[in-house]
């Protein structure tokens, strides 16, 4: 039997949150298409310009938990407006930057706001729907990132090539300012932390074994994905044999797969959160291994790339919903922020590992194979947690207190 449709205001709020995540996702990844122009304009080498990517990720890793602890008791509506304003400010600073240092400073400001905003978006999405629809709601918000890859990155790159890279920063700032008006009017005006909960008790959520496990699965899944995805362009051109002009279309296909995966992951999560994690991480492992062994056949490699995108984005709503479940009524924002940090740490680890594999002289097709093996480790943790949860449920049902 199908669940009843969400009320109009709730559906509108989820749409606005998806647009917010699209805006933040675009602001994060657009830099990939702008680096050559930035390097020339501010007078730095391309590797130095690439530090804008790593500094953004590092800021999210470190700054997110700190902001979660210091702002957890703030009213969410006011906090959202303040953080969205900071995101606008960061992009404006970057757009106006006369040299590399203030440009990097603007990226750090934007990254700090980003690190606290995404956990808030996920928490709000989970709070405004019935518990049985949490997976779908979180998936809706996650879909903004896949849409950023499909539309945000190519549009941002096109604007940068047409009007200059500064125009892309101005566009993201303007879009962020516009959506802030809508999200401020729809967000619940409440605190994300229980009243009377001290910071020590808030930190205890990080000692919860279930929180630790889902965070580990998140980090390993990100590491698995970015061991391959960081070097997906040379993989597609040098190993599979596509021309550089085809890569944009193939990355678009990856993003379309991500959109499909977000929907599927959300629906699976509504049925069984732990089951969804196991299935989605298993699909991630299978798609990466398949990509590694099909590089010699273009059609199969394209299919594997699509499955890779779908599986990767299907994992996101599953792990985030699980964290919302196990950290509920305690310190969900802090837990989600630490999970975001784990994701970015896994992303950096995957990129580093892929680089070491290439430096060691291995062929590029070994990158998705290595990523697939990492995903197998994540799958083992997910299956162990699922089995443990079943044992605990059985024990509760057969205990004398339950009879």
pLDDT at residue 315, as a whole number: 93
Tokens 């298409």 — which residue?
Answer: 33
Distance CA 388, CA 377 (A): 17
Distance CA 342, CA 348 (A): 10
Distance CA 83, CA 283 (A): 35
- Rg (C-alpha) for the chain, rounded Å, is 21
pLDDT at residue 332, as a whole number: 67
Overall pTM surpassing 0.95 (yes/no): no
Please classify residue 130 by burial: count the beta carbons closer than 10 Å to its beta carbon, then call 0-12 exposed, 13-18 middle and 19+ buried.
exposed
Architecture of the domain delimited by 8-190: Up-down Bundle (1.20)
Architecture of the domain delimited by 199-388: Up-down Bundle (1.20)
pLDDT at residue 337, as a whole number: 77
In sequence order, the β-bridge partners of residue 75 are 191
Domain 8-190 and domain 199-388 have a common topology? yes
pLDDT at residue 248, as a whole number: 74
Tell me the domain boundaries of the chain: 8-190, 199-388
**SS3 category, 139:** helix
Distance CA 68, CA 319 (A): 19
Sign of CA pseudo-dihedral 233, 236, 241, 246: negative
pLDDT at residue 1, as a whole number: 36
Per-residue pLDDT of the chain (403 residues; tens, 9 = 90+): 344 445 567 788 888 888 988 999 888 878 766 777 888 888 887 667 777 877 887 888 888 777 777 766 667 778 888 999 999 999 999 999 999 999 999 999 999 999 888 888 887 887 778 877 877 887 788 788 878 877 887 788 778 878 888 999 999 999 999 988 888 777 666 655 554 444 555 566 667 788 889 889 999 999 999 888 878 878 888 888 888 778 778 878 888 898 899 889 988 988 888 999 999 999 999 999 999 999 888 899 999 999 999 999 899 889 888 887 777 555 666 777 777 788 878 887 887 888 888 878 888 889 999 999 999 999 999 999 888 777 767 766 665 555 4
């Amino acid at each position: 039997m199908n669940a009843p449709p969400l009320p109009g205001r709730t559906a509108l709020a989820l749409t606005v949150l998806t647009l917010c995540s699209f805006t933040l996702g675009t602001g994060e990844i657009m830099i990939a298409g702008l680096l050559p122009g930035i390097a020339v304009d501010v007078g730095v080498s391309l590797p130095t310009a690439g530090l804008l990517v790593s500094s953004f990720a590092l800021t999210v890793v470190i700054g997110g938990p700190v902001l979660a602890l210091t702002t957890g008791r703030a009213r969410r509506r006011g906090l959202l407006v303040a953080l969205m304003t900071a995101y606008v400010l960061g992009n404006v600073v970057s757009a106006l930057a006369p040299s590399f240092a203030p440009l990097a400073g603007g990226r750090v400001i934007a990254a700090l706001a980003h690190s606290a905003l995404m956990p808030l978006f996920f928490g709000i999405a989970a709070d405004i729907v019935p518990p049985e629809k949490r997976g779908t709601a979180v998936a809706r918000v996650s879909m903004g990132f896949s849409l950023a890859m499909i539309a945000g990155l190519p549009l941002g790159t096109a604007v940068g090539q047409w009007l200059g890279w500064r125009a892309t920063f101005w566009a993201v700032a303007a879009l962020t300012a516009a959506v802030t008006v809508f999200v401020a009017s729809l967000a619940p005006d409440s605190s994300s932390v229980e009243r009377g909960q001290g910071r020590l008790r808030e930190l205890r959520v990080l000692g919860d074994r279930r929180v630790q496990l889902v965070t580990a699965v998140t980090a390993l899944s990100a590491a698995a994905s970015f061991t391959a995805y960081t070097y997906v362009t040379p993989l597609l051109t040098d190993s599979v044999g596509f021309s550089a002009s085809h890569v944009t279309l193939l990355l678009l296909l990856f993003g379309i797969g991500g959109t499909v995966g977000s929907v599927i992951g959300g629906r699976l999560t509504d049925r069984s959160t732990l089951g969804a994690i196991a299935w989605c991480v298993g699909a991630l492992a299978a798609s990466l291994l398949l990509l590694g062994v099909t590089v010699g056949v273009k059609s199969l490699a394209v299919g594997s790339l699509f499955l890779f995108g779908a599986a990767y984005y299907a994992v996101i709503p599953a792990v985030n919903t699980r964290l919302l479940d196990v950290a509920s009524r305690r310190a969900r924002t802090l837990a989600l922020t630490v999970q975001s940090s784990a994701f970015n740490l896994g992303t950096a680890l995957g990129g580093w590992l892929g680089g070491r594999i290439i430096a060691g002289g291995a062929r590029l097709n070994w990158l998705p194979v290595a990523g697939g093996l990492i995903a197998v480790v994540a799958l083992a943790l997910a299956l162990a947690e699922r089995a443990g949860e079943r044992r605990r449920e059985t024990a509760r049902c057969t205990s004398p207190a339950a009879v």
